[in-house]
Amino acid sequence: MNKKMEFISCRDIYASTLIDLGKTNKDIVVLDADLAKSTRTLKFGKVFPDRFFDLGVAEQNMMGVAAGLAASGKTAFASSFAMFASGRAWEQIRNTIAYSNLNVKIFVTHGGISVGGDGSSHQSLEDIALMRVLPQMRVLVPLDGYETEKAVRLAAKSPGPFYIRVSREKVPQLTKKGDKFILGKSSLLHPGGDVTIIAYGLMAFEGLKAEKILAQEGISVRLINMSTIKPIDEEAILQAAEETGLIVTAEEHSIIGGLGSAVAEFLSEKNPTPVIRIGTRDRFGQSGAPRDLFAEYHLLAKDIVAAVKKGLKIKTSAKKSGVEA
């Protein structure tokens, strides 16, 4: 946090990784829906024009074509904005791709409210919930450029459908090239014993800033990067609940159906623990600068700090009353 951070575009990393994979795997095909310049898949199309298909403003058809290509032995990467890929084409993803467990990798950009000025129609705050509910679908939100590359490579070599989400904004490079990226496993960004913050994407960066603020007040924060939402790292969640007794989740998504729901659902059955969810609260997005929207929807480090302090009061109160927190 003290040294100058490098900020990178996960969209650009996606494109370069696809091109690299395409050089050695002729079964890699890429599809887009009139947003190839924004998703960066156009770069793949320029190198491999015979394996790139722009279906126009027709996301449902794109998913159907991707399914057909996958059924014929191809590994199909289908891309669009998170809002359109998950929302407009959900039925096709459910009935054609997920049901048949086809080798389609849905890579979406412009996830969450940080899309900014494009407003509510383009700000997907429900996509993780929509994808997480589908049987056989794996849901990933890479933290940074290195994780984006690893997520794409993992999806390419793993049978079955994936949903991989990145933001429009550039993100800080928080991991190292040599770090492992394992499906269903989280990574520890900071150790701590008083409270656990579980986050992904841009919210993990806010979590790091919150950790610094809380450390100055003597509060020890464990920060977990949960890049895999499904399958989720149950072992790490359970260990964090047992060792810190308080969980705060932070996500650029509705608190309904996303990371917060996944963590709360698991702990309610395995080890009931106070869980405070940071995310959008039953609201649509709106047009504005990303940072202003983070402030409006209470997604900043200061909001995580406030949630931690609220949770610690609950935890302390439970201990005083003799109730297991």
Residue with tokens 């449902």: 60
What pLDDT band is residue 320 in, cutting at 50, 70 and 90?
A: low
**Confidence at residue 314, expressed as pLDDT on a 0 to 100 scale:** 87
**Confidence at residue 324, expressed as pLDDT on a 0 to 100 scale:** 54
Q: Which domains does the chain have, with CATH numbers?
A: 7-172 (3.40.50.970), 187-319 (3.40.50.920)
What pLDDT band is residue 315 in, cutting at 50, 70 and 90?
A: confident
Across the chain, the runs of DSSP E, i.e. the strands, are: 7-8, 28-32, 52-54, 75-81, 104-109, 138-140, 162-165, 171-172, 187-190, 195-199, 221-225, 228-230, 247-254, 275-280
Is pLDDT at 163 greater than 60 in this prediction? yes
Across the range 45-70, mean pLDDT stands at 98
Is pLDDT at 317 greater than 80 in this prediction? no
H or E element, residue 301: helix 301-320
Across the range 184-205, mean pLDDT stands at 97
Q: pLDDT tens, 201-234?
A: 999 999 999 999 999 999 999 999 999 999 999 9
Set 59, 149, 169, 251: catalytic member: 59
**Confidence at residue 89, expressed as pLDDT on a 0 to 100 scale:** 97
**Confidence at residue 322, expressed as pLDDT on a 0 to 100 scale:** 62
The stretches of 135-284 forming alpha helices (DSSP H) are: 145-157, 202-215, 234-244, 259-270
Q: Is 59 a catalytic residue?
A: yes
pTM over 0.85: yes
Helix axes 234-244, 259-270, angle to 10 degrees: 70
Q: Are 125 and 254 in contact (CB under 8 A)?
A: yes
**Confidence at residue 5, expressed as pLDDT on a 0 to 100 scale:** 83
Is pLDDT at 116 greater than 70 in this prediction? yes
What pLDDT band is residue 323 in, cutting at 50, 70 and 90?
A: low
Q: pLDDT tens, 246-305?
A: 999 999 999 999 999 999 999 999 999 999 999 999 999 999 999 999 999 999 999 999
Is pLDDT at 3 greater than 70 in this prediction? no
Average pLDDT, the chain: 96
Q: Are 58 and 88 in contact (CB under 8 A)?
A: no
Tell me how far CA of residue 104 lies from CA of 16, 69, 152, 157, 201, in angstroms. 19, 9, 12, 11, 23
**Confidence at residue 4, expressed as pLDDT on a 0 to 100 scale:** 77
